[in-house]
Structure 1
């Protein structure tokens, strides 16, 4: 898939398109080994919902990167705070280098550009968010000045340049903790859709290996931080097969447990394209809740999405390599169908829930453009929310909640679209009386559902450690959960607090949730009891 590029009214980019002799300026000493604290499943859970700062640091004019080149304003701390306040815990920052790279053999990156990259990273990193930075547009044939071209003749020079640039970037950030993740490249391929070609795919594998070796050998936290690598064009089918090779990680910190990985696999998801990205008014609805078959694609529905992400689980997650769906989303087609935002929300909710089911983290593609054919969730100039319904759908799927120390992101503070609910969603439920209150909000599709449960201590004494018992309707079975442990998977279930949310002072609350399969009954659970006390 191409990068989703759009500035105010102007489509800038349409559908696009073992180096052993490198010299490393900084080497890793054993004393510099710093082990990331989270294993793969813990990392995915902690990353929560992700968001892309798209069409910004990868934007360029005539091959010279500039963050305002494609119509977006200069990034501010206020924007990042708004994104965080909306519940996102991870921000992916696409970056291009292009004409900011000097001549060989040093290939020095412009210092002012590196400084600005670091400044934008710090906006998010300083707020405790996960941050991903990559090499985004340098591999697009359609971008002026691109050079990371897998079927170019000068592969030796390309590899030398690639290694030098990543060495400089990694060195700049070597003291940052594991909340910073590097991504080797974006959607690299030969520009021709269809099956991968050789030796082009071999060159992409070589780039990934150079990236891993280079970052690791710069030392500091780089010796152990999580690194993200894609296959051919971040395409799922061509990553689970067709020649993708996971890089070796021979230079990683010796203190990383032998049975754990520190490499993640990157893919993107925009299927079906006629709904997600095609700029016409033909296909505007998606999913089991679509009301007009003529406006729904003939493929790429929930079952297909489930199958694609299951492939990633079976091929990589099962072997200890987390998966990151670094881009997904769908463009605004409300000009053709006023109900379109409902289906955009359904699409986002289902993608995030399915990814979570199969051990993958996600990041919504936001190109900063609101209106016809835009992906935007926020107005970056006014720092307001424009698509609260899609954000709510994402958060309901991932089990997210607003950070208590963040600025308010309530719909009353910004223009928004009414939250979308899937056709079979259940209303919040409550029953009984006591010193606790529980509400649950179910969002369901044909054979699955997610449920977000808010627990509030309405008593006068603190609760230190809790279990929440409830009964699932017949035919429901929990397949994954967050912010608590759940046992058994069906019938009367007990959710036990996580290490960070077991204390509930008077008036305090915790939000937990789960994804479940169902056989037709998507109703909310009943009979909530907190530490044996019936809740209302």
Structure 2
């Protein structure tokens, strides 16, 4: 990743895979989502039983789906420094049982290697890397091994220290190649993760990356043993799926004239949506088109020309992170994952989920999924589409008479089969009406029954079920417009008292009196969720971060506009004077 989720910066479908194993793995996820035994332990493959297809395209297809052992051997300086426990063999048993067919094992070598020639890697660390790789191989998994955060620690300095960086890079891969030369062909080498070069033009970057990739190729191939025909993975600049970057990589791959090469890129969605900035609160047409365009470029640049693509990292940069308020709304995130899996299958790209560890997807301590429902959506996308809707909440104002409320269904090629509340199927015509097959309207009578005593918050959860895939959950929420109060504080601790009254915060605009943008993100008035502001629902406040307040001009009035997912908008004035901050509620006008 551009950095780990801990430090934050920023397929091919199952196809030829064994259909029964994949289907059972998905069913396991749907039944509870916890790590569990393989569908048939006796049939589980081992390194000795996996037969790697001769064609690179077929081999990469057999690697779908894939998973990243993130923030572990790539952590700085040591394996447990970024919050994950030491890897055990049981982890890979779990990953295999959960339906994954390959793992990417990122490794940062910098702190375990001499910084001067001959750049010797510490023997104990090399041994540990080999132990972890062997555990994964023994489980019958394909393994991708790479040079990871070294990309921004010393490789980026190549423009100013060309010979020194190249010598260290070559030495690193010479040692890796020698250590792993006799491993089976299920081990794949990736030259470098998200390469970057500081103080260089685009043309210079392309030339330097070509030099690294070709040098990597020469070193591995000349090391003999299993490395003579091992699958090798080459990245674009930054692993970005931009057309120019992929064209440059295609030129490199074509020049090497080697049928055992793989192109690799990463994808974390349209940036504003991925971190919730610049108004990117929904998985809208812009975000969807960004994804569709990225996969079309992968198809046209590589796959149509016989070069397989391994999408080495995917996810959302700001979600999930269970240590902080959710910056991406849950239903919108699920729509992204559903769409992503479909698009990858459509063009034949193998995809590797970036998993930074316990606070995101797989809890490395318990070996259970932190969010079983989320992983169920990801697993389902490996094989089929699911229907969704324009949102996953229906807001019913408490202060007004209840009226009918509607959502638009996104069928995604499925057929709507009905609406359920628990085990009870709602009655069409009485409880809801379906217009033109996609416009779902809940009647006032149904909402009156579902909201019950009308306590603020979620009163009921419905399921829209479709002809295939997963049901779409719809929360019926009683709410009223939130209420903000005046506040005083310091730049290192300032909160706005907030009565949420069932609503959910989406984003915040910040502007000076002259209309210019206020805050540390000056290119948009919509500031970054969790970086500039964040809700604290248990304590009924909105927190303005020190980073945001420090960026404000002293003595100038700033108008904040808070947007909520119900559609409510509330304004608040703040002014900083030295390290003191005052906040004043702006009374809403009708």
Pairwise TM-score range, normalised by the shorter structure: 0.5 to 0.7
* 1:150 Cα deviation after fit: 5.5
Residue 245 of structure 1 pairs with residue 240 of structure 2: no
Could you tell me which of 315, 335, 352 is aligned with 2:301?
315
Residue 299 of structure 1 pairs with residue 286 of structure 2: yes
Structure 2 counterpart of 1:156: 163
Structure 2 counterpart of 1:341: 330
Structure 1 counterpart of 2:381: 397
Structure 2 counterpart of 1:40: 56
* 1:369 Cα deviation after fit: 4.2
Deviates more, 1:38-47 or 1:114-123: 38-47
- Cα separation, partners in 2 of 1:395 and 1:59, compared to 1, 3 Å: same
Residue 332 of structure 1 pairs with residue 320 of structure 2: yes
* 1:397 Cα deviation after fit: 2.4
Could you tell me which of 103, 106, 109 is aligned with 2:118?
106
Could you tell me which of 368, 372, 376 is aligned with 1:388?
372
Could you tell me which of 219, 229, 233 is aligned with 1:228?
233
Which structure features the higher share of helix residues?
2
- Cα separation, partners in 2 of 1:448 and 1:322, compared to 1, 3 Å: farther
Structure 2 counterpart of 1:74: 86
Residue 187 of structure 1 pairs with residue 176 of structure 2: no
* 1:56 Cα deviation after fit: 0.9
Q: Equivalences for 1:90-129 in 2 at 5 Å?
A: 90-102=102-114, 104-129=116-141
Distance in 1 (CA, whole Å) between partners of 2:223 and 2:210 is 21
Distance in 1 (CA, whole Å) between partners of 2:309 and 2:411 is 25
Higher relative contact order (CA 8 A, sep 6+): 1
- Kindly tell me the number of residue pairs found equivalent between the two proteins: 357
Deviations 1:233-261 (A, max 9, x none): 11111422367632467696xxxxxxxx2
Structure 2 counterpart of 1:14: 9
- Cα separation, partners in 2 of 1:341 and 1:84, compared to 1, 3 Å: farther
* 1:351 Cα deviation after fit: 1.4
* 1:208 Cα deviation after fit: 0.5
Secondary structure in 2 aligned to 1:363? strand
- Cα separation, partners in 2 of 1:306 and 1:115, compared to 1, 3 Å: same
Structure 2 counterpart of 1:513: none
Could you tell me which of 203, 212, 218 is aligned with 1:198?
203
User: If the length of structure 2 is used for normalisation, what is the TM-score?
Assistant: 0.55
Structure 2 counterpart of 1:166: 173
Do 1:205 and 1:244's aligned partners in 2 also have CA atoms closer than 8 Å?
no
Structure 1 counterpart of 2:5: 5
Secondary structure in 1 aligned to 2:332? helix
* 1:133 Cα deviation after fit: 1.0
Do 1:148 and 1:158's aligned partners in 2 also have CA atoms closer than 8 Å?
yes
* 1:161 Cα deviation after fit: 1.4
Distance in 2 (CA, whole Å) between partners of 1:339 and 1:5 is 15
* 1:390 Cα deviation after fit: 2.7
Distance in 2 (CA, whole Å) between partners of 1:216 and 1:448 is 46
* 1:159 Cα deviation after fit: 1.1
Distance in 2 (CA, whole Å) between partners of 1:392 and 1:196 is 43
Secondary structure in 2 aligned to 1:299? helix
* 1:139 Cα deviation after fit: 1.3
User: If the length of structure 1 is used for normalisation, what is the TM-score?
Assistant: 0.61
- Cα separation, partners in 2 of 1:161 and 1:333, compared to 1, 3 Å: closer
Distance in 2 (CA, whole Å) between partners of 1:5 and 1:191 is 22
Could you tell me which of 359, 367, 373 is aligned with 2:348?
359
* 1:363 Cα deviation after fit: 0.4
Distance in 2 (CA, whole Å) between partners of 1:423 and 1:122 is 41
- Cα separation, partners in 2 of 1:178 and 1:446, compared to 1, 3 Å: farther
* 1:13 Cα deviation after fit: 4.5
Do 1:58 and 1:94's aligned partners in 2 also have CA atoms closer than 8 Å?
yes
Structure number with bigger Rg: 2
- Cα separation, partners in 2 of 1:199 and 1:160, compared to 1, 3 Å: same
Distance in 1 (CA, whole Å) between partners of 2:368 and 2:87 is 14
* 1:285 Cα deviation after fit: 3.8
* 1:281 Cα deviation after fit: 11
Do 1:54 and 1:366's aligned partners in 2 also have CA atoms closer than 8 Å?
yes
- RMSD over aligned Cα atoms: 3.2
Do 1:189 and 1:233's aligned partners in 2 also have CA atoms closer than 8 Å?
yes
Distance in 2 (CA, whole Å) between partners of 1:179 and 1:165 is 21
Structure 2: unaligned runs, 5 residues or longer: 11-50, 391-408, 416-465, 470-590
Distance in 1 (CA, whole Å) between partners of 2:114 and 2:175 is 12
Distance in 1 (CA, whole Å) between partners of 2:326 and 2:129 is 39
Deviations 1:83-110 (A, max 9, x none): 2221111111111111322254422111
- Cα separation, partners in 2 of 1:273 and 1:4, compared to 1, 3 Å: farther
Secondary structure in 2 aligned to 1:48? coil
Do 1:79 and 1:380's aligned partners in 2 also have CA atoms closer than 8 Å?
yes
